[in-house]
Amino acid sequence: MIHPRSCFSGFFARLSDDFTAISGARSVLILAVLAMIFLPAILAHPQQGSDSDLTQTSLEDLMNINVTSVSKKKQKTSQAPGAIFVINQDDIRRSGALNIPDLLRMVPGLDVAQIDAGKWAISARGFNGQYSNKLLVLIDGRTVYTPIFAGVFWDSQNVPLDTIERIEVIRGPGAAVWGSNAMNGVINIITQNSADTQGGYLSAGIGNISTGSETLRYGGKIRGLGAYRVYAEGFHYDSLPTLDGLDGKDDWRLFHGGFRADSLLSAKDSLITEGETYQGDAGEMATAPISLTPPETETVALHDVYSGWNLLSRWSHTVSPRSQTSLQLYFDHANRDDTTYTLGLNTFDIDFQHHVALGTRQDVVWGIGYRLSSDDTGPTLRIVFTPQARNLHLFSSFLQDEITVRPERLQLNLGARVEHNDYTGIGFQPSARIVWTPDSKNMFWGAISGADRTPSRSDTDIRVNYAALPGPGNMPILVSLFGNPNFKNERLVAIEVGHRNSWTSTLSIDSTIFYNRYRDLVSVEPGATRIETNTAAVHLLVPSYFSNGLHGETHGLEFFANWKAANIWTLSPGYAYFSMHLHPFTGSQDFTDAPGTEGGAPDHQAQLRSSVTLPHNLQWNASAYFVNRLRAQSIPSYTRVDTDLVWNAGERFSLSVVGQNLSKNLHPEYAGPSTTVQTDLMRRSAYAKFTWSF
Amino acid sequence: MFCVCKNSVIKAIRRALTLAPIHMVLVMLILQAPQPACAQTATDEYKVKAAFLFHFAQLVDWPSDAFNSGDQSLNLCFFDDEPHLQELQGALEGKPIGYRVVHVRLLHPTQPVQGCSILFLGRDDGRRQTASLRKLHGQPVLTVGESNNFLSEGGIIRLHLEQDKVRFDINVGVADSSRLKISSRLLLLASSVTLSDQAKGGQ
């Protein structure tokens, strides 16, 4: 067992080590960056600021100002008692982040590790990997995970950060509301209402890793109906070095564009329509079998090419002040391939929800939904799906009831979701949550939830040929992993307790403790070696199969606070402890996956973010993230330091300079086992960004 | 290339789209929308509303017992899940009003409302509005809200939009029973003034 005390002191010693290191040679870089920004700011004429202070405008004049009207419905989730962290626009502006994964680093308890320039492993509460499959990600209500492996291709999913309204991150099961896959968490990305993005907007950035990024956006009004925006964004990331110091050939490019329209059809009906199309490519180095004759297996530079489009529409109708309905449908098309796989995917989804207040004490949301996922894969020497193409139907319904037991004191939330999928049939995922607010400053909550991770195509239908080797008597050996058509749901029962406290108006604290019990977790079982003759070269096959051979427990603690230390200074510390124990069921012969998964998540993560508002319309933000070692992957612990300085030159222009990874140049963050690409090293980087609103 | 397109998905989509021609109309509208529609620059709604709150604070007189003696701050309360908190707080925190200073206080959604000189209620939560207004009835707290039934439920000033311009209504009856004096300048600028304290009957 690990003694928390020793780890704490170890952590702080390390942190201070890092800071002393920074004050050494590295400070030169930081100082140079700071000087670069401060100089023009100091030289510039101080901004008057009165033009933006409307309180100095007379009431009569105020009444003549045209305002952008906004009608936002609060999302139920942001009020929900639970392990929720919300990243708002201000956090985004201050973060200096260039993409969504970088932004997610600020969420305490979320495990964000970059693999190469365009690939990340992101998860909550363990099981992290390039193909993490226990986290649900939604963009404006559209599920962006792929049913091929039930995870997210982060390289093709991006939203211009300047159009994000907020990102809600829920750690812990959300399956009773969101469905299977929301097993260990939900990331809900919500873009701004187009009424809030009126006029023109241009941003351009350049740096040593993000070698170019441009966003162009324009928002206008639809006569008598509402507002719209159209946008396009393109960026390029330079390749990172490999562990051996060679070029990782992993440069990443994405170009995407889209629109969103928000309209009021009547006083009681509103409609959101949005769509996007994207195209991009990313390199990677991967070890793959290329032939059954020598040289069989090589580390090759692959080139992932992906494209797609999607269209979503949501109609919300107010039946009465106590009853609202919404109907949402979307279609999503995605293609991607490199030379070792091809994949095409169409998703059609329709969802209906009804929110109604019953009596004075009950608030009910229920809904039904249907999703059709239709894929087509191309067989290659590396990856084969059988069958090659498949249509999958998912039927779902859910009900959530918020019951006020004692007004303003005690509340009980009961909910359940029933789903039917083609692999495992009907599944039932319930949750119960109790909320107690003893006084004005404290809120305690506790929850018990059941969640399933339903099989994906890669659990049931895949064959991956990992390696080809020269064998005895000129007969090659092929090492392969097979999906299991009888793969069952991975199941979870989670118990969580949390406390939120606002001691004073300047300090708030949020802490959560959880205990998770998993059954039927995926294992890899060895199969009998045999001779395979159905290909050109007869070879010896060393197979292994997916099975549900593991069970186990995880527990942990997540803590964060927000402290307004002074009017101009906010400090946000966070800490997460995590521990996992997995065991094989009797009969399972998987002795390698359990330690790999156990040691694939950091047991300690800590962070400190600081944000200072300076004179001359300057903002200075800095953050330090400590991630403890990944013992199964020989990834040493690291502390990542990011800082940025933003100068708002009047209402229309802003200039920011960002330094990332300042403390530790060339460190790896993730190295499998759940990854198929070669790990690259994170480099110290800097970039500058300019924005113009017109 | 994939032959997925030939299957039923596309058919289902076509059907769905023909069922909802309004979406297509919208897309076309977007593509052909008149460009100069927003030549007139618009200001963020809640920055303007924040300025209104500031003026309300200046043009309303509180009874002397409404403040703790020696306390120089005028507490302006928002619920901490108010979606426009940033704009409102940013514009108002620390602003001087007479010899007092505006201090923004954040309330937890489940905590009782207390220690507020002004309470702002966004338009989204009907149940919270009813409960808060009932609780504050007769107390010297200037309640400012946005929902349609704000005045009839016992609120004092309701903000609303009229052709993208901010307007307000005042319920003087409730202000009187809360012992708040509203300046005549504010009453003159209001779109409508209600005299009766209807909320009394609603308890």
Among A142-146, A228-232, A621-625, the least confident range = A142-146
Domain that holds residue A609: 4-57+87-693
A52 within domain boundaries: yes
- Complete DSSP assignment for B79-95: ETT-TTHHHHHHHHTT-
What is the rounded distance in angstroms from the CA atom of residue B89 to the CA atom of residue A489? Answer: 47
B38 within domain boundaries: no
A243 within domain boundaries: yes
What is the rounded distance in angstroms from the CA atom of residue A631 to the CA atom of residue A184? Answer: 22
Domains in chain B: how many in total? Answer: 2
* B27 contacts A66? CB cut-off 8 A: no
DSSP assigned state of B180: P
For A:64-83, CB contacts with B below 8 A are 64-74, 78-79
How do residues B51-97 score in pLDDT, each as one tens digit? 999 999 988 998 888 887 667 788 899 887 777 787 788 888 888 88
Q: Does A652 contact B at CB distance below 8 Å?
A: no
The CATH number of whichever domain residue B197 belongs to comes to: 3.40.50.2300
B15 within domain boundaries: yes
Helix (H), strand (E) at residue A493: strand A490-504
B106 within domain boundaries: yes
A66 within domain boundaries: no
E strands within A339-487? Answer: 341-358, 362-378, 383-385, 389-406, 410-421, 425-439, 442-453, 462-469, 477-482
Closest C-alpha to A462, from A536, A372, A378, A384: A384
How do residues A214-240 score in pLDDT, each as one tens digit? 999 999 988 878 889 999 999 999 999
* B33 contacts A220? CB cut-off 8 A: yes
A82 within domain boundaries: no
Nearest to A67 among B12, B54, B165 (CB): B165
Q: Between the CA of residue A269 and those of A37, A225, B81, what are the distances in Å?
A: 48, 11, 24
Question: Do B26 and B90 belong to one domain?
Answer: no
CB–CB of B186/B159 below 8 Å? no
A69 within domain boundaries: no
Question: Do B94 and B131 belong to one domain?
Answer: yes
B183 within domain boundaries: yes
B39 within domain boundaries: no
Question: Do B20 and B90 belong to one domain?
Answer: no
Closest C-alpha to A329, from A282, A283, A274, A287: A274
* B108 contacts A441? CB cut-off 8 A: yes
Name the residue with tokens 């937890």.
B108
Give how far B102 is from chain A: nearest CA, Å: 12
Q: Between the CA of residue A188 and those of A103, A111, A169, A257, A539, what are the distances in Å?
A: 13, 16, 6, 20, 47
Question: Do B85 and B174 belong to one domain?
Answer: yes
Nearest to B30 among A57, A228, A500 (CB): A228
* B45 contacts A67? CB cut-off 8 A: yes
A381: left (phi over 0), alpha (psi -120 to 50) or beta: alpha
pLDDT value of residue A266: 79
Domain that holds residue B11: 4-33
A568 within domain boundaries: yes
Question: pTM value?
Answer: 0.72
Give how far A220 is from chain B: nearest CA, Å: 6
Q: Between the CA of residue A231 and those of A203, A278, B87, what are the distances in Å?
A: 11, 12, 25
How do residues A639-667 score in pLDDT, each as one tens digit? 999 999 999 887 789 999 999 999 888 99
Q: Does A529 contact B at CB distance below 8 Å?
A: no
* B41 contacts A222? CB cut-off 8 A: no
Domains in chain A: how many in total? Answer: 1
What is the rounded distance in angstroms from the CA atom of residue A310 to the CA atom of residue A317? Answer: 23
Please report residues of B whose CB lies closer than 8 A to that of A88: 86
The CATH number of whichever domain residue A264 belongs to comes to: 2.40.170.20
pLDDT value of residue A301: 87
A63 within domain boundaries: no
**A41 SS3 class:** helix
Question: Do B17 and B106 belong to one domain?
Answer: no
Assign 3-class secondary structure to A215-269.
EEEEEEEECCCEEEEEEEEEEEECCCEECCCCECCCCEEEEEEEEEEEEEEECCE
What is the rounded distance in angstroms from the CA atom of residue A454 to the CA atom of residue A393? Answer: 13
Question: Do B67 and B160 belong to one domain?
Answer: yes
The two tokens of residue A342 are: 């091809």
pLDDT value of residue A627: 96
Question: Do B172 and B145 belong to one domain?
Answer: yes
The two tokens of residue A536 are: 């050109």
What is the rounded distance in angstroms from the CA atom of residue A628 to the CA atom of residue B51? Answer: 48
In this model, does residue A2 exceed pLDDT 60? no
Please report residues of B whose CB lies closer than 8 A to that of A53: 91
Mean pLDDT of A163-187: 88
How do residues A488-543 score in pLDDT, each as one tens digit? 999 999 999 999 887 777 888 999 999 999 999 999 999 999 988 877 678 889 99
